[in-house]
């Protein structure tokens, strides 16, 4: 079984399609699993970002009497970051963040039953929080989504 964060990051990276406010200029977001950059490094990058992680998992069910296969359920956080690069157009970062969140929702909705990489399902929870940093200049827009994932493995 691959790391669920890497699997979800690869799924989003392969499917995401964003455009700028004019709906014609393509924007390429950075999509990564957590643990590679610090919070300050993420905030300094000008491109939109989708960060997958952190991760918590527990074994929940046994599939056979010999305890050879177990189902695991885990919870991932998806962080969507955008940043306004020029202050007079402060709405552009917010709009781009909303577009990126919609794309992530679409990708999970379309691929949630068969996400691949050993995952058996992925589904977004209703909890979604906007954690915008209103005092920072340029404005940093940040949304956190929770993603429930499940997979099975064979115990050795």
Residue 89 pLDDT > 60: no
pLDDT value of residue 91:
47
pLDDT band at 154 (very low <50, low <70, confident <90, very high): low
What mean pLDDT, rounded, does the chain reach? 79
d(CA 149, CA 129): 19
Q: What is the CATH number of the domain that holds 8?
A: 3.30.2000.30
> Domain of 76?
4-154
pLDDT value of residue 90:
42
Alpha-carbon distances of 71 from 2, 127, 141, 155, rounded to whole Å: 15, 24, 36, 11
Percent of the chain whose pLDDT exceeds 70:
78
- What average pLDDT score do residues 85-112 get? 79
Domains held by the chain: number: 1
């Amino acid at each position: 079984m691959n790391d669920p964060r890497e699997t979800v990051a690869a799924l989003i990276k392969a499917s995401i399609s964003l455009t700028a406010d004019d709906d014609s200029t393509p924007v390429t977001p950075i999509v990564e699993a957590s643990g590679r950059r610090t919070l300050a490094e993420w905030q300094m990058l000008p491109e939109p970002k989708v960060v997958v992680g952190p991760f918590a998992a527990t074994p929940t069910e046994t599939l056979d009497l010999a305890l050879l296969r177990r189902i695991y359920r885990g919870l991932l956080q998806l962080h969507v970051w955008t940043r306004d690069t020029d202050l007079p157009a402060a709405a552009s970062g917010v709009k781009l963040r909303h577009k990126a969140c919609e794309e992530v929702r679409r990708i999970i909705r379309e691929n949630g039953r068969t996400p691949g990489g050993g995952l058996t399902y992925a589904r977004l929870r209703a909890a979604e929080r906007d954690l915008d940093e209103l005092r920072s200049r340029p404005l940093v827009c940040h949304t956190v989504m929770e993603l429930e994932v499940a997979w099975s493995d064979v115990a050795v």
